[in-house]
Amino acid sequence: MWLIAEGKSWRVILENTYLNKIIKQQPMAEIILPGTYIKVYDEGLISTGSVSTGNIGIVGIADKGPIGEVKALSSFSEARSVFGEVGEWDSKSKDNLSLVRSLEQIFNNGGRTVYAVRVATNTATSASLDLKKGTAKFLSLEAKTTGTHGNLISAGITEVDGEKKLLLADDKNAEKYTITAINELVELVNEKSSLVKAAFVKEVDPDKIDAANLSGGNNGEKINSTHYKNGLELLENDIINIVLMAGQDSTSADLLGGHLNKSSENKRERITIVGVAPDSEFNHSVNDDRIILVTPGIKARTINPQTRKETTVDLPASYAAAAIAGMLASLPVQASPTNKVLAISGLSKLYNTGQLEKLIQTRVLAVEKREGYRVVKGITTATNSAWHQITTRRIVDYAIYGVRSGCNPYIGKLNNERVRGALKATLDSFLTRMVNDEALISYELEVTATRAEQIEGVVMVSMTLRPTFSIDFIKVNMYLS
């Protein structure tokens, strides 16, 4: 039952101000006192939220930092403070410190937001040191994080102007704590130190102790595919557009493909970039529009943790993949990486023209030396030409994110013509922005629901998108006369 005004003059006023329709929509139970009752519908204010295009997720090995925890990073200096240095490169080992080395390439090439996960085996341990007076231990120190970085931390006790102080230092930081009592020192260190945790053993008046390094830190770096799989799972709920397994090559494509499929099912569309396994760039079997294979390797710096001396080494293609990821993250989705310059020190291998042509035919993204170090052609491993260009995959993923963002606020609202019209307007606004940004040439959009679909609570959104394609070839006909 609806309350309808009976007074003629009131009815005329309501009709003239278009409020009578609104009044009729109010249930009798809500209208008790005389007055004008107004219902405001907010569907016209709904818009698509911001859509990320360059968030990177990465899993790898480091010599410090939390294990099995997602850390959001926005710069390489922040990455180093959390996960340590790139370390010394061992060309014969697969267990180099891949995480920070990859993060260096990502941020050097334009990456801005990275979600990083350090993985390790259960052999990872923290460095430690016991301080003693004579043979009696009175204080135990342990590095705050597991890994060999803790072996660089030194601890000692000195006396200055009659005050005894505990001195702690690593390669970048130095801390000083005045000693009044050992139990108070423990509380102070545990509250303020960024380097170590302290444990009380015995109350003594300590003697001077020469600085000595903590020892026994282990990175737990002998990891396998299960550790990487667990690390990738930690990234499943984050908004990530590009995912990497630091230091791993195309032999891990199946694992990455499984992660990408699962992410798509969970409404987290992603692509991955991975280096080609050694000597397989011309005969790989990867065929996936979400997987990009990269070759060759690159040259980069390495640091001896003891001498701090830097040298240049050849890194495998997995680190070129990290550089490509950083560059892609800095580009709008419609911008192709083709012919773009990478910020790298050099290439570990130079391909000739014939080899570059064959790499493109085998769906491998190659980097060449030409007025810098440039991407030859930005392609995925898909044999289907519709998804051959990286831009097509990224544009469509962007559209998926945006349409989902625009539709979600309408879940639970009325399935009638007015609300469907508002939903169409929201999506129109988003897709028009894509056209204005030149990600789309044009689009067609319909938002409908039959009576049966209304009963089921279903709205059909049908779109035809016409993505922009990048220029890969320019054919020039020259006529001389």
Residue 367 has, within 13 A of its CA and on its CB side, a CA count of: 33
- Examine the fold and report which residue of 363, 391, 419 is the final residue of a domain before the chain moves on: 391
CATH number at residue 204: 2.60.40.4290
Does 199 share its domain with 335? Answer: no
Residue 420, in any domain of the structure: no
pLDDT score for 398: 94
Res. 94: pLDDT tops 80: no
pTM for this model (two decimals): 0.86
SS3 of residue 393 by DSSP = helix
Are 246 and 366 in a shared domain? yes
37-56 pLDDT, tens digit per residue, is 777 777 777 777 778 889 99
Per-residue confidence (pLDDT) for residue 84, from 0 to 100: 92
Residue 354 inside a domain? The answer is yes
pLDDT of 449 strictly over 80: yes
Average pLDDT score over the chain: 89
Indicate whether 162 belongs to any domain. yes
Residues 6+ apart with CB under 8 A from 264: 270
Integer Cα distance of 221 and 218 in angstroms = 8
pLDDT over 60 at 10, yes or no: no
pLDDT at 25 over 70: no
Same domain assignment for residues 228 and 355: yes
Residues 177 and 288 in one domain: no
What tens digit of pLDDT does each residue of 300-344 get? 888 776 667 778 899 999 999 999 999 999 999 999 999 999 999
Among residues 391, 420, 443, the one where a domain terminates is: 391
| 386 and 284, same domain (yes or no) | yes
* Sheet strands (E) in 65-150: 70-73, 113-118, 128-133, 136-143
Q: Both 265 and 347 in a single domain? A: yes
* Cα 298 to Cα 318: distance, rounded to the nearest angstrom: 9
Whether 152 shows a pLDDT value over 50: the answer reads yes
In this structure, is residue 149 part of a structural domain? yes
> Burial level of 190, CB count in 10 A (0-12/13-18/19+)?
middle
Q: Which long-range contacts (CB under 8 A, 24 or more apart) does 454-458 make?
A: 454/415, 454/416, 457/415, 458/415
Q: What is the pLDDT of residue 258?
A: 94
Return the DSSP state at 26.
S
pLDDT at 30: 64
When pLDDT is averaged across residues 89-97 and rounded to a whole number, the result is: 78
Say whether pLDDT at 370 is over 80.
yes
What is the model's pLDDT at position 3?
Answer: 35
pLDDT at 18: 41
**More reliable by pLDDT, 163 or 35:** 163
The mean pLDDT value for 470-477 works out to: 91
Residues 13 and 88 placed together within one structural domain of the fold: no
Are both 335 and 278 inside the same structural domain?
Answer: yes
Residue 437 lies in a domain: no
Q: Give the pLDDT band (50/70/90) at residue 34.
A: confident
Q: Per the domain annotation, does 418 fall within a domain?
A: no
Name the residue with higher pLDDT: 384 or 110.
110
Sheet of 136-143, strands arranged across: 128-133, 136-143, 196-200
Q: Which domain holds residue 155?
A: 128-213
As a whole number, mean pLDDT of residues 83-99 equals 83
pLDDT of res. 228: 95
The total number of structural domains in the chain stands at 3
Domain end point (choices 337, 364, 391): 391
| pLDDT at residue 8, rounded to an integer | 37
Given a contact cutoff of 8 angstroms between Cβ atoms, the answer to whether 88 and 101 are in contact is no
pLDDT given for residue 87 in this prediction: 81
User: In one letter, which amino acid is 188?
Assistant: L
- Assess whether pLDDT exceeds 90 at residue 75: yes
Q: Please indicate, yes or no, if residue 450 is contained in any of the structural domains.
A: no
Are residue 73 and residue 99 in the same domain, yes or no? yes
Same domain, 158 and 189: yes
Output the pLDDT for position 305. Answer: 61
Residues 69 and 15 grouped into a single domain = no
Residue 151 has pLDDT above 50, yes or no: yes
Same domain membership, residue 134 and residue 20: no
Main-chain phi, psi angles of 149, to 5 degrees: -60, -30
**What is the residue whose two structure tokens read 């006192």?**
33
Residue 355 sits in a domain whose CATH number is: 3.40.50.11780
Q: What is the DSSP letter of 29?
A: G
Task: Tell whether the model's pLDDT for residue 12 goes beyond 60.
Answer: no
Please state the rounded mean pLDDT for residues 262-275: 93
Closest CA to 313 of 351, 287, 358, 346: 346
Q: Is residue 49 part of a domain?
A: no
- Start-to-end Cα distance in the chain: 88
